[in-house]
């Protein structure tokens, strides 16, 4: 693993699709070659590779370096909020800090016991919607996306996790197919990369759907629609939770009167705000 990490490090790769360093990336690739169940135990570190495994491991390292495919696309699987999810280029690689908030059942922003309906807007491969279903067992979840390939992957993940009864997946351009529907929580990791930033991203991002990243000139096209329309789809006392990543500064500047609550995460990441329905209706016309 150490020698693999050194090779990845020397190759000048970018780590930002579920790991943030060469060592964790090498571990993810190696565990997938060894087909070890998650979580990996300390005993796994004493294992030796059989010749066929060594060949597969070398090939995987080579492929990661030569193609710049994110590790999760090479292994076909990643973990999100404790759930194993199938991962391929039909949807973004799941990595949102929102996982931590979902594991906490959105506390302290809402009482989980009162949550009956959750909308995951821009669900991609379904990670947020499925994690909500797992961690909020009383709730019904709706996941929506404009991309059919992403929704296909979300349906596969829903089936594998046995969550078909409580998770509905709907094709929709933002809220357009959701007229009259209300939710206690609207959570979203929408696209938020501006045109200039998109051109400067490392090659790993080029393997992800452009639709999952790009959001107009300033990166805020999706966020604008969400802020404008979310209140209409929230129940009284309901909350809106949105990841905007490094466009946080721009969001603060564009909507100076909105009382965003910006969250902090123990496992890293940021750029996530919470607003209540009441705050939205007061401030957004
Ligand atoms: C940043 S990805 C997030 C995917 C997933 N929720 C996650 O956290 O990994 C954004 C998603 O928004 C979808 N999307 C882009 N434009 C949209 C639109 N106008 N309406 C609905 N979904 C859209 C993309 O297809 C993509 O799956």
- Taking only the tens place, the pLDDT of each residue in 190-211 is 999 999 999 999 999 999 999 9
Task: Please compute the mean of the pLDDT values over residues 259-284 and round it to a whole number.
Answer: 95
Testing ligand 1's pocket by substitution, the residue of 132, 171, 192, 212 carrying the most ligand atoms inside 8 A of its CB is 212
Least confident of 44-53, 72-81, 232-241, 260-269: 44-53
CA of 48 to the centre of ligand 1 (A): 41
**Ligand 1 — pocket residues by CB below 6 A?**
91-92, 94, 96, 122-124, 127-128, 145-147, 150, 173-174, 189-191, 211-212, 222
The span from the CA of 145 to the CA of 184, in Å, is: 19
Q: 39 falls in which pLDDT band (50, 70, 90)?
A: confident
Q: For the purposes of burial, counting CB atoms within 10 Å of the CB of 142, is it exposed (0-12), middle (13-18) or buried (19 or more)?
A: buried
* Confidence label for 228 from pLDDT (cuts 50, 70 and 90): very high
| Planar angle of CA 242, 245, 250, nearest 5 degrees | 95
Helices within 116-194 (DSSP H only) = 127-135, 148-160
Mean pLDDT to the nearest integer, 104-116: 97
pLDDT at 285: 64
Q: Is the pLDDT of residue 255 over 70?
A: yes
3-state secondary structure of 283: helix
Closest CA to 269 of 97, 106, 104: 97
Q: CA 70 to CA 192: how far, in whole Å? A: 19
pLDDT classification of 103: cutoffs 50, 70, 90:
very high
Ligand 1 center to 215 CA (angstroms): 10
Determine how many CB atoms are found less than 10 A away from the CB of residue 213.
18
Minimum CA distance residue for ligand 1 atom 27: 124
- Average pLDDT of span 159-186: 98
- Which residue puts its alpha carbon closest to atom 9 of ligand 1? 94
Q: Given this model, what pLDDT does residue 108 score? A: 97
pLDDT of residue 158: 98
> Going by C-beta distance under 8 Å and a sequence separation of 6 or more, which residues neighbour residue 82?
103, 131, 134
Residue 170: what pLDDT? 98
Q: What is the pLDDT of residue 40?
A: 82
Closest residue by CA, ligand 1 atom 13: 122
Parse the chain into domains and list their residue ranges. Answer: 2-75, 77-283
77-283 under CATH 2.40.30.10, yes or no:
no
When pLDDT is averaged across residues 118-144 and rounded to a whole number, the result is: 98
Q: How many CB atoms lie within 10 A of CB 149?
A: 16
Instruction: Report the candidate in 212, 284, 231, 17 with the shortest Cα–Cα distance to residue 119.
Output: 231
Rounded average pLDDT over 79-105: 97
In the Cβ-directed half-sphere of 129, how many Cα atoms lie within 13 Å?
Answer: 31
Distance, CA of 49 to CA of 56 (rounded, Å): 10
Bridge partners (DSSP) listed for residue 120: 143, 187
With a pLDDT cut of 90, the percent of the chain lying above it is 94
Q: Measuring from atom 12 of ligand 1, which residue has the nearest CA?
A: 122
Distance 54 CA to ligand 1 centre (A): 37
Q: How far is the CA of 123 from the centre of ligand 1 (A)?
A: 6
Q: Ligand 1 centroid vs 86 CA: distance in angstroms?
A: 17
Residue 5, token pair as written in the block: 């990490």
Compute the distance from residue 218 Cα to the ligand 1 centre, in Å: 16
Residue 193's closest CA among 222, 219, 217?
219
Average of per-residue pLDDT across 145-158? 98
Burial of 126 (0-12, 13-18, 19+ CB in 10 A): buried
CA angle 141, 143, 149 (to 5 degrees): 150
45 — pLDDT class (breaks 50, 70, 90): confident
Question: Mean pLDDT over all residues of the chain?
Answer: 96
Task: Write the pLDDT tens digit of every residue in 14-23.
Answer: 999 999 999 9
Ligand 1 geometric centre to CA of 159 (Å):
20
The answer, yes or no, to whether residue 38 has pLDDT greater than 90, is: no
The tally of CA atoms less than 13 A away on the side-chain side of residue 160 is 17
The pLDDT score that the predictor gives to residue 246 is 94
46 band by pLDDT with thresholds 50, 70 and 90: confident
Check residues 65 and 48 and name the one with the higher pLDDT.
65
pLDDT bucket at 261, cuts 50 / 70 / 90: very high
Angstrom distances, CA of residue 164 to CA of 92, 94, 99, 145, 156? 21, 20, 20, 17, 10
What is the crossing angle of helices 22-34 and 51-67, to 10°?
A: 140
How far apart CA 201 and CA 211 sit, in angstroms, is 15
């Amino acid at each position: 693993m150490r020698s693999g990490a050194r090779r990845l490090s020397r190759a000048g790769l970018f780590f930002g699709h579920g790991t943030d360093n060469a060592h964790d990336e090498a571990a993810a690739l190696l565990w997938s070659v060894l087909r070890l169940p998650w979580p990996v135990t300390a005993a796994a570190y004493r294992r030796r590779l059989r010749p066929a495994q060594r060949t597969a491991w070398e090939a995987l390292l080579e492929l990661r370096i030569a193609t710049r495919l994110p590790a999760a696309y090479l292994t076909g699987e990643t973990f999100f909020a404790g759930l194993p999810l199938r991962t391929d280029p039909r949807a973004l690689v799941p990595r949102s800090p929102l996982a931590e908030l979902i594991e906490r059942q959105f506390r302290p922003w809402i009482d989980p016991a009162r949550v009956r309906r959750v909308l995951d807007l821009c669900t991609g491969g379904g990670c947020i919607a499925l994690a909500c279903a797992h961690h909020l067992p009383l709730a019904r979840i709706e996941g929506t996306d404009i991309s059919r390939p992403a929704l296909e992957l979300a349906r596969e993940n829903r089936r594998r996790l046995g969550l078909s009864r409580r998770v509905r997946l709907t094709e929709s351009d933002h809220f357009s197919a959701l007229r009259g529907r209300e939710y206690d929580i609207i959570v979203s990791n929408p696209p938020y990369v501006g045109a200039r930033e998109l051109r400067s991203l490392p090659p790993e991002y080029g393997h992800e759907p452009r639709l999952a990243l790009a959001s107009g000139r300033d990166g805020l096209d999706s966020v604008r629609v969400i802020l404008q329309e979310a209140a209409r789809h929230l129940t009284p006392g309901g909350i809106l939770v949105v990841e905007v990543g490094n466009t946080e500064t721009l969001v603060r500047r564009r909507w100076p009167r909105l009382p965003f609550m910006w969250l902090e995460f123990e496992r890293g990441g940021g750029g996530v705000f919470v607003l209540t329905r009441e705050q939205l209706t007061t401030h957004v016309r």
